[in-house]
Amino acid sequence: MSVLKSFIAGQWVGEKPAKALPSAVNGEIVAHTHDDTLDFKKAAEYGRKVGGKSLMAMDFQERALALKAMALYLQEHKKELYALSMHTGASKGDNGIDIDGGIGTLFSYASMGRRELPSGNVVHEGPVMPLGKNNHFAGTHILVPRGGVAVHIDAYNFPVWGMLEKFAPTFLAGMPSIVKPATSTCYVTELAVRLMQDSGALPEGSLQLIIGSTGDLFDHLEEQDVVTFTGSAATARKLRNHPNIINKSIPFNAEADSLNSAILAPDVTPEHEEFDIFVKEVGREMTAKAGQKCTAIRRVLVPKDRVEAVCEKLKERLSKVTVGDPSVEGVRMGALASIDQLEDVKANIQELLKTSELVVGGDGSFQPTGEGTDKGAFIEPHLLLCRNPENGCGAHDIEAFGPVATVIPYDTIEDAVELCSKGRGSLVTTLTTRDPATAGRIAPLLAAFHGRLHLLDAEAAKESTGHGSPLPMLKHGGPGRAGGGEELGGIRAVHHYLQRTSIQGSPTMLAAVTREYVRGADVIETEVHPFRRHFEDLQINESLLTHRRTVTEADIVNFGCLSGDHFYMHFDEIAARNSQFGKRIAHGYFVLSAAAGLFVSPGEGPVLANYGLDTLRFIEPVAPGDTIQARLTCKRKIDQGRTSPDGHPQGVVVWDVQVHNQNDELVASYDILTLVAKKPQ
Element (H, E) at 94: helix 92-95
Alpha helices in 140-214 (DSSP H): 161-172, 186-198
Looking from the CA of 80 toward its CB, the CA atoms found within 13 Å total: 15
The pair phi, psi for residue 201, each rounded to 5°, is -100, 0
- 3-class secondary-structure state, position 71: helix
| Strand bridging mode 627-643 / 252-256 | unpaired
Q: 10 Å Cβ neighbour count for 216?
A: 12
Nearest to 609 by CA among 650, 668, 656, 670: 650
Distance of CA 330 to the CA centre of its chain: 33
The answer to whether the CB of 512 falls within 8 A of the CB of 128 is: no
Buried b (16+ CB within 10 A) or exposed e, 84-122: bbbbbbbbeebbebbbbbbbbbbbbbbbbbbeebbbbbb
Distance of CA 663 to the CA centre of its chain: 47
Kindly name the residue from 165, 190, 255, 399 that is annotated as catalytic. 255
**Distance (Å) of CA 373 to CA 6, 89, 366, 386:** 30, 11, 12, 32
Of 165, 274, 281, 294, the catalytic one is 294
| Bridge pairing between strands 426-432 and 260-264 | parallel
Measure the CA–CA gap between 337 and 156, rounded to whole angstroms: 7
> Which ranges of 457-533 does DSSP label H, i.e. alpha helix?
458-461, 491-496, 507-514
Residue 449 and residue 480 in contact, taking contact as beta carbons nearer than 8 Å:
yes
Rounded CA-CA distance 28/378 in Å is 14
Q: Active-site residue 294, yes or no? A: yes
Compute the half-sphere exposure of residue 428: CA atoms within 13 Å on the CB side of its CA.
Answer: 24
How many CB atoms within 10 Å of residue 184?
Answer: 22
In sequence order, the β-bridge partners of residue 322 are none
Helix (H) or strand (E) holding 499: strand 498-505
Distance CA 423, CA 285 (A): 18
- Rounded to 5 degrees, what are φ and ψ at 363? -95, 5
- Which of 484, 514, 482, 674 lies closest to 143, judged by CA? 514
Helix axes 78-85, 60-76, angle to 10 degrees: 60
536 is catalytic: no
**Whether the Cβ atoms of residue 436 and residue 457 lie closer than 8 Å to each other:** no
β-bridge pairing 123-130 and 138-145: antiparallel
Neighbours of 500 (CB within 10 A): 11
Active site residues: 255, 294
